[in-house]
Amino acid sequence: MALLKGSTRWVLFLGAKGEPEQRHVLDLAFGLMCLESAGVAQTDLSIYVDGQDRASILQWISLGSINTHSVLSSSDFFADCALNTHENIVVFVSGHGSHAGIDAPVTITPHALLQSIKQSPRLKNAVIYLGQCFAGIFNYMPVSRTRPGDVEAIFIGATNLYESLSSSTTERLVGGDASWCANLFLLGVFKWLMDAVDVDGDGRCTVMDSYKYAGVHSNAMNKKIKKSLFVRSFEMHEKWEAARQESIDKPSLAARVALKAIQKSYSSELDLRYVHQECWILNSLPAQRLEY
């Protein structure tokens, strides 16, 4: 079965507790451009983004397509799953996550997402790409078929029980060049979809190939980022030490404020150095068979 030629619903999903970050919406705008470039029809695309500022959300999404797309909220996704008419669904999740699940007005737990997929009428196969932080809480779930007619679900995470890494990029979108801090794993998946590569050399471009390609891409970028941060950490330490000494020698409100600002920046740099990102796939055997 080929997802691009078959009865497949393609979903771009961004849950948020408040207003979504522009960078996360641009992740989806880039994905929209890649999906349409790969031949996905407008009628098979669904976009869900939470937030009250609908004008800005639509403006950012429009950078990825010459077509006009409706953008619904995350809660509508679950209502639409109950009315599903497609045999396959492929979902790309951007945004924030925590140990509780995917950020949304009502946090989306692993069980809630899986049950919605499993209970969708007519659905045979589901592929869920999870770009948010702590995506590993969606791992180790009963996703495979347990009886004839059950949905075969494949879950793919950008990271396990760590934060998900993003990095600055500039990409050509339909609306022109755009620069943002992109989710590295989703960026790799979307680029693979636009120009699929048979990574394992079996003559087919499968879900597994997309996973391997995006994993190699994001880990290479992760390594590059950490090397750069290693060098910058020495500079940050010198600035922090100088500010600390200044607050001791000439104590004042300005000195304390300056030290606090440098400490915050220095801590952020160190956090990135010690975040471990390793992608994962749940239900790998169907992923080796399911073609794009």
Tokens of residue 36, six digits: 């349409």
Tell me what the pLDDT averaged over the chain comes to: 94
pLDDT tens digits for range 216-243: 999 888 888 777 877 788 888 888 888 8
Least confident of 93-107, 129-143, 212-226, 228-242: 228-242
Q: How confident is the model at residue 1 (pLDDT cuts 50, 70, 90)?
A: low
Reference 75, options 24, 149, 16, 20; nearest CA is 16
Question: What would the mean pLDDT of 182-204 be, rounded to a whole number?
Answer: 96
Q: How far apart, in Å, are the Cα atoms of 191 and each of 112, 127, 237? A: 29, 17, 37
Q: Is 209 helix (H, G, I), strand (E, B) or coil?
A: helix
C-alpha span between 114 and 118 (Å, rounded): 6
In contact, 78 and 69? CB cutoff 8 Å: no
Angle at CA of residue 112, ends 211 and 137, nearest 5°: 50
Mean pLDDT of 155-167: 94
Cα-Cα end-to-end distance for the chain: 8
- The class (CATH top level) of 8-219+276-289 is alpha beta
Strand partners, 156: 129, 281
Smallest CA-to-CA distance from 113 within 99, 124, 102 is with 102
pLDDT of 246 over the 80 cut: yes
Q: Give the confidence band of 277 by pLDDT, cuts at 50, 70, 90.
A: confident
- 57-86 tens-digit pLDDT: 999 999 999 999 999 999 999 999 999 999
How is residue 250 written in tokens? 């000439």
On the CB side of 13, CA atoms within 13 Å amount to 27
Tokens for 281, please give them: 């796939």
User: 88 or 235, which is more confident?
Assistant: 88
pLDDT higher than threshold 90 for residue 180: yes
The whole-angstrom separation of Cα 144 and Cα 81 is 18
Q: Report residue 45: phi and psi, to 5°.
A: -105, 135
Report residue 219: phi and psi, to 5°.
Answer: -70, -35
Bigger pLDDT: 229 vs 264: 264
Give, in order, the Cα–Cα distances in Å from 219 to each of 167, 181, 223: 12, 16, 6
Instruction: Please state the rounded mean pLDDT for residues 91-108.
Output: 97
CA of 72: how far to CAs of 32, 35, 91, 96, in Å? 15, 18, 15, 18
Query: What average pLDDT score do residues 192-206 get?
Result: 96
- How many Å apart are CA 187 and CA 189, to the nearest integer? 6
Please tell me the predicted confidence (pLDDT) of residue 130: 98
Number of residues assigned to the chain = 292
